[in-house]
Amino acid sequence: MTDDQRMERIAAGDEAAFRELVEAWEQPVFAFLARMLGNREDARDLAQETFVRVYEQASRYSPEGKFRSWLFRIAGNFARSALRRRKVLQWVGLDSAQNIASNAHESPDRSIERDERNRKLQAALDKLPARQKEAIVLQRFHEMSQNEVAGAMGASIPAVESLLHRGMQALRTELVKE
Amino acid sequence: MNEDNGRDRRNTMNETDRLLREAPEPVLGRSLYPDVRARIAGRRDAITTPFRLAGGLAMAAGILLGVFLGNDTPLTESATGVFDDDTVALLAYGEDETLDTAFLSSFTDENIR
């Protein structure tokens, strides 16, 4: 069954179709939000909100074969709002940055090395403006085409090209500093 | 000098690409579905509860208003719950009447005829 077909069935009240959809997409949505927010708990919370919104909006979804872009657009909106809120909280001193926790099943040595590289990358990503970070995460980690990234971000393709270009430059600069 | 700068830039680009390529994907662990379902159910309750509460309050207000407007006789006895036949007769027909005498006295000559 395609995602568009699932969405039609969800709109008709099919609970099993909704469960299938959540289980098919929860991992990529969570990974996207974890990279955007740099925090597993916030990512889990907002991934749940994303699927609640999918359920609520199912009847308004138009099946044009662009489900992934639509889904990541919802998740991206939540992520950007959370980052804005966090900025305010950091400004008033009520929030501190947290890293994504490591995979607990790895051996300690590998885990430490991997954690260190990941921490470095996440710290550099967290310094980018939200939209540059979003474009990079979608393209690099979710292997989206520029066209798809544009759909997911509600932006034009030239705007996405520019975000990616400037984002990668800024990321390299940040990684050198780290 | 320019060659060095170019090489440094290429190295940084390669290192950035490598970090991006090799970064492990954050793993979710247990499924989100039960929590998502619970949130949806919670939202539904959150929406319907105020309506139910408002409905209940409106009904209670309606009953109170009805009692207030309908109560145009001083029913002091209602406080003690005394509503025997004599009380009804007293309220309806005045002193020295029981419900039976009040009933009989309501048959005037005209009624009998």
pLDDT band at B71 (very low <50, low <70, confident <90, very high): low
Tens of pLDDT, residue by residue over A139-162, are 999 999 999 999 999 999 999 999
The distance of Cα B101 from the centroid of its chain, to the nearest Å, equals 50
For residue B24, give the nearest of A22, A49, A103 by CB distance. Answer: A103
* B40 inside 8 A of chain A by CB: yes
Fold entry, domain A1-100: Rna Polymerase Sigma Factor; Chain: A (1.10.1740)
Answer yes or no: do B28 and A114 touch at CB < 8 A. no
What does the pLDDT read at residue B103? 58
Q: Is the pLDDT of residue B97 over 80?
A: no
What does the pLDDT read at residue B106? 58
**Amino acid identity at B91:** L
Give helix B33-70 / helix A40-57 axis angle, nearest 10°: 60
Taken as a whole, chain A contains a residue count of 178
CA–CA dist A27, A5 (Å, integer): 20
3-class DSSP state for residue A161? helix
> Do A95 and A149 contact (CB within 8 A), yes or no?
no
CA–CA dist A172, B16 (Å, integer): 6
* B110 inside 8 A of chain A by CB: no
Answer yes or no: do A51 and B36 touch at CB < 8 A. yes
Q: Is the pLDDT of residue B112 over 60?
A: no
Residue A59 has φ and ψ, to the nearest 5°, of -70, -20
For the structural domain made of A107-178, what CATH number should be given? 1.10.10.10
Q: Is the pLDDT of residue A12 over 90?
A: yes
Residue A25: closest CA among A54, A63, A61, A65:
A54
Domain with CATH 1.10.10.10 in chain A: 107-178
Rounded to 5°, angle at Cα B10 from B5 and B14: 150
**Amino acid identity at A81:** S
The predicted model scores a pTM of 0.71
- Between these two residues, A103 and B25, which has the higher pLDDT value? B25
For residues A111-138, give the mean pLDDT: 90
* Cα dihedral A171, A174, B1, B2 in deg (nearest 10): 20
- Between these two residues, A174 and B74, which has the higher pLDDT value? A174
CA–CA dist B33, A34 (Å, integer): 18
Domain with CATH 1.10.1740.10 in chain A: 1-100
> Do A101 and A40 contact (CB within 8 A), yes or no?
yes
Tens of pLDDT, residue by residue over B7-64, are 777 777 788 899 999 898 999 999 999 999 999 999 887 766 666 777 778 888 877 7
In chain A, alpha helices (H): 3-11, 15-37, 40-57, 67-91, 108-126, 130-136, 146-153, 157-177
Tens of pLDDT, residue by residue over A71-92, are 999 999 999 999 999 888 777 6
pLDDT band at A45 (very low <50, low <70, confident <90, very high): very high
Residue A54: closest CA among A6, A91, A112:
A6
For testing contact with chain B, the best of A20, A52, A98 (most B CBs within 10 A): A52
- Between these two residues, A155 and B98, which has the higher pLDDT value? A155
What does the pLDDT read at residue B7? 76
Tokens 């039609």 belong to residue: A8
> Do A58 and A7 contact (CB within 8 A), yes or no?
yes
